[in-house]
Chains A and B, each alone.
Chain A
Amino acid sequence: MIFYRKKHYRVRVLTAFAAALLASLLLFGLRAADGSCQTPMSVGQVILSAKEYSLGQVQDRNGTVVLQGKGKETVWTDPQVRSSLEPVMGEDPERSMLSRSTILANCPWVFGTEDNRFRLSVLLNPFSSRKGEDVRLTIDAGLQTGIAQAVEASGFDKVCLVVSNYKTGEILGLYGNIMQDTFHPGSTIKPILAASALSIDPDLASYIYNCADKNHNFSTSSGPFRINCIDGTEHGSINMTDAIAYSCNGYFVSLLQQTGSTAMLKELEKWGFDTVVHYPQFSYTDHSFLGSSRQDCDYLLAGIGQANAKITPIGMNMCTNAILNHGQMENPRWISARGRDGRWTAVDGEGSRQVCSREAADQICKMMLAVTEKGTGRSFALPGFAAKTGTAQKSSESGSLSEKCTVWTTGGLTDEKMPYSVTVCLDDVKSTTTSADAGRLARDILKLVLKGEAQ
């Protein structure tokens, strides 16, 4: 007869084992259900998931499908959108997941990382296909196509371009590697310096500089340092509005000396210069002003966007947005929602910070209107288009200045019902190409945005 009786210690031992096993399962279930252990997947785990899943749909802001997975393949619906978006889309996780500078690296659920196979439909059908969730971008596919066509028509080889909504931080269209490539900003840095100076001392709005030959020698700890205006122009007695409109180098170098470097560098940190800034939806190359240099001449040269002053096109666009948005810099966003089976949930990414005083930003915004009304931007004027142009000389490999330039135009519409900004950067261009060329491209893109808005 088998030795097994109720209430015997063997029964109690078995009951205890069963209870302990059940308790461990229960604890696991509770932890899994409350999500306290649901930490993000590592890069390797996302790549592993991507191998099993077909890519979810990538939609533009209007719900148009841009990219989707078909089995293990990914399919672009528009070759023109593809040509401009592919470098930043990051559809191959093995190449893109290590950095957060691509779109899909910031929404790994498209690769299936958030899939829940406990859904009834999957429970009933174990062989149902594994497909990642969908993502809706802030980017407009129509505008993106228009940008690609406009860039192609412009004939420039190295173009970086970004269009955004300065009220929300949403990126509406982009071209080129706007997150990683840094360039000397040239004179486009001047509105930022002016806004910072006014935040330090609002009275500087009435500062006048005499732009004459003798006043272009600036004192530094290592002796006088000469910085001319472009083509040796002398602007005469000039105020801040005209200095921005006509891009007077001497004015801004002098302004830098008026504010003092410590206060100015501290203000510039708020804009993201010489510091590290993290955004929820992407990583980008931080911009620099003085960098690691402590030399006076580098500080003064940075005031006209040369030396160690470097910025990405998205960085410049964010700074422009802050000026247009009363000193409030919205977190840049290119992902708006996450979806499965047609249901969409907003993706966290909103946030903002005040980078200069509201008054300072509004003053600079008005001054930037003068750029297109009477200054360096007359050739691409558009009603309510506040902009700033910039030209930076590139240095050769030996360190000396080369023939090539980087030209910029950055600005936006002051009408807050149409809160759009655009930044255009043409790199490696000959000296015959001017910032007005970038400006015309910027204007055309803005027209495209307005046309799309009207439709």
Chain B
Amino acid sequence: MSFPIYVIYSAGLFLWTISSIHYDSPLPAAQYGLGQLLILAALTIMFMADKGKKAIPGLVIAAVFCSLGLSIAYRFAGEKASIQLEDVYTGDLISMIVVFFIVYLLIRFTNIYRIKLINLLAGGGLLLAVYGARLTSALTGGSYLYFGGIMIFGWALLAFPFTAAFLISRREDSYVRGNVRSLPWNLMLMLLYVIILFAGCVLCNEFGLILIIGLTATVLFFIRCRNLLTKCFYTISCAGAAVLSAMKVPHVHDRMQIWLHPAAAAGSEDLAGKAESVLYLFRHLGQAGLWGRGIGSLPVSYYPTLNTDHVMVTLINDYSLILAGLVLALSLFFIRWLLTLPDGLCGYDRYLNLTTALLFGFLILVHTASNLGSFLTAGIGFPWISEGSSVNIMLTVLLAVHCGLLGKKAIS
């Protein structure tokens, strides 16, 4: 049932989008149409290949998000749409689909992702990427964001679940002070790894990544750790670090001010520009109403990140509050789907899947909350709806991991 609904939805969205914005060049519409066909083709293949149909609900939701991503990309294409596919969302989509099938097949039919060396390489590679970005890349908006042409956020999305799952699922055969109720060494190692990762993120000024990794690691730690005292100590340490950074790091301090007092920030000389993206929705919500102001009504010249970090603002303003609400409802279904797994898989697989689900969940949550002014502005995109080649490709890898795990047989 979900498949035909998706077909109707994507066709409707396509017609609505291209009738709202007309370009002289047919290229943007052609790219949009091609993207839609590619998604449909990939979905059809999976529909036929996945006999248990366990993967289909989540894939359809992902396709809904990708379809919206195509619409957003068309909306922001401008007259001078690139003829180079690697520069446009449709080009990313080709990479995403190819990567999806490769990873899906590897996860579902092989166990090479469980090899210790590969997981160690992933963990080491992530540290290399983060510290390497600080050493090799140029400043982009005050941060060192790229390593090897790929955003370190993307590297983190790819490598962190494997590393975290590997560390957490190690045999817990030694504990601090030899007490079985104390912190196990594998969890201690994971915390150490996260701290080293954090230090690199601070050097790169990549606070959005700290937030996502920090939240994910915290949930993993709380699920795994059985010692209440350790949990309390961890909570106090994290809260202390957060308060300290809010007070001492100007970047974080500014965002805290904007979050707590957006209207006052608008009147401040230093923060006025930064508070605009938060205040926009409050000012224009009435004008948008339930039905939105129409696709293309908010020019990117006012808010350059409307197709990336503030895509929820675009959805509410242009596409309607109803559609934004549906996207959020689907997001919850998506997270639910990500959290489901067949019985009998090994601990590593379960933690890999859980970390994947947590990452998606926090991306959606932080993006939505920061766009609505309910949380710090974090500079994080919405999975697949926001533009961003490397991050979207890495998210597709995680999607493929889950789909692969859904099809795996239980360990006897």
Known: A17-B332, A31-B282, A45-B302. A37 touches B373 (CB 8 A): yes
From B345, B357, B365, B375, residue with most partner A Cβ within 10 Å: B365
Q: Which residues of B contact A37 (CB under 8 A)?
A: 262-263, 278-279, 282, 373
Give the segment of B67-75, B112-120, B285-293 that binds chain A: B285-293
State in angstroms the CA–CA spacing of A403 and B357 once bound together. Answer: 85
Q: Which of B82-90, B186-194, B333-341 contacts A (4 or more CB under 8 A)?
A: B333-341
Bound Cα distance A112, B358 (Å): 42
Binding site for A on B (CB under 8 A): 54, 219, 223, 262-263, 266-267, 276, 278-291, 293-294, 297-299, 302, 328, 331-332, 335-336, 339-343, 345, 354, 357-358, 361, 364-365, 368-369, 372-375
Pick the contact of B283: A3, A23, A45, A118 (CB < 8 A): A45
CA distance A36 to B369 in the complex (A): 18
Chain B residues whose CB sits within 8 angstroms of the CB of A23 once the complex forms: 374
Task: List, sorted by A's number, 28 A–B pairs whose CB atoms are closer than 8 Å.
Answer: A4-B339, A13-B358, A14-B336, A20-B365, A20-B369, A23-B374, A25-B328, A27-B373, A28-B374, A31-B373, A32-B281, A37-B262, A37-B282, A39-B279, A44-B302, A45-B302, A48-B298, A49-B287, A52-B297, A114-B286, A115-B286, A117-B287, A117-B288, A117-B290, A118-B286, A118-B290, A122-B291, A123-B290
Q: Are B361 and A17 in touch, CB under 8 angstroms?
A: yes
Query: Are the CB atoms of B223 and A48 closer together than 8 Å?
Result: no
Q: Which residues of B contact A32 (CB under 8 A)?
A: 281-282, 285
B357 near A24 with CB under 8 A, answer: no
Q: Cβ of B289 and Cβ of A118 under 8 Å apart?
A: yes
**A10 x B365 contact (CB < 8 A):** no
**Which residues on B sit within 8 Å (CB–CB) of A112?**
287
Q: How far is the CB of B12 from chain A (nearest CB, A)?
A: 15
Q: Given A1-B343, A2-B340, A123-B289, does the pair A17, B374 have CB atoms closer than 8 Å?
A: no
Q: How far is the CB of A431 from chain B (nearest CB, A)?
A: 51
A35 and chain B: residue at smallest CB distance: B282
**Assuming the A-B contacts A10-B339, A123-B289, are A2 and B54 also in contact, with contact meaning beta carbons closer than 8 angstroms in the complex?**
yes
Task: Determine whether the beta carbon of B332 is less than 8 Å from that of A21.
Answer: yes
Residues in A whose Cβ lies below 8 Å from that of B293: 52
- Answer yes or no: A432 CB below 8 A from chain B CBs: no
A116 CA to B262 CA, complexed, in Å: 21
Whole-angstrom CA separation of A52 from B293 in the bound complex: 9
Would you call A418 an interface residue if the criterion is a C-beta within 8 Å of the partner chain's C-beta atoms?
no
- Does A126 belong to the interface (CB within 8 Å)? yes
Taken together as a complex, chains A and B put the C-alpha atoms of A136 and B333 apart, in Å, by 51
* Residue among A20, A39, A48 with max Cβ neighbours from chain B (10 Å): A39
- Top 10 nearest A-B pairs (CB, nearest first) are A117-B289, A24-B374, A24-B369, A37-B282, A126-B291, A28-B372, A116-B286, A27-B374, A10-B339, A3-B341
Whether A24 pairs with B332 at a CB distance below 8 angstroms is no
Q: If A3-B340, A23-B374, A117-B289 touch, does A14 touch B335 (CB 8 Å cutoff)?
A: yes
Residues of B contacting A114 in the complex (Cβ-Cβ under 8 angstroms): 286
Residue of A nearest to B322 (CB): A126
Complex Cα spacing A21 to B358, Å: 14
Nearest-neighbor residue (CB-CB) of B410 within chain A: A1
For A2, give its contact among B262, B342, B354 (CB under 8 Å): B342
Which of B283, B288, B294, B369 interacts with A39 by CB under 8 Å? B283
Which A residues, 128 to 159, have Cβ-Cβ distances below 8 Å to chain B?
A: 130
A10 to B335, CA, bound (A): 10
CA–CA, A24 to B325, complex, Å?
13
Complex alpha-carbon distance, A115 and B286, angstroms: 6
**Contact assessment for A39 and B357 in the assembled complex, using a CB-CB cutoff below 8 Å:** no
Tell me how far the C-beta of B360 lies from the nearest C-beta in chain A, rounded to whole angstroms.
10
| Further 9 A-B residue pairs, CB within 8 A, beyond A17-B332, A21-B365, A114-B286 | A3-B343, A13-B219, A20-B365, A28-B281, A42-B276, A48-B297, A52-B287, A117-B286, A117-B290
CB-CB < 8 A to A24: which residues of B? 365, 368-369, 372, 374-375
Interface centre among A37, A41, A42 (most CB of B within 10 A): A37
Residues of B near A42 (CB, < 8 A) are 276
Are A21's CB and B368's CB within 8 A? yes
User: A48 and B299: CB pair below 8 A?
Assistant: yes
- Write out, one digit per residue, whether chain A residues 57-92 have a CB within 8 A of any chain B CB (1) or not (0): 000000000000000000000000000000000000
A113: B residues at CB distance < 8 A = 287
A16 CB to nearest B CB, Å: 8
Closest to A114 in B: B286
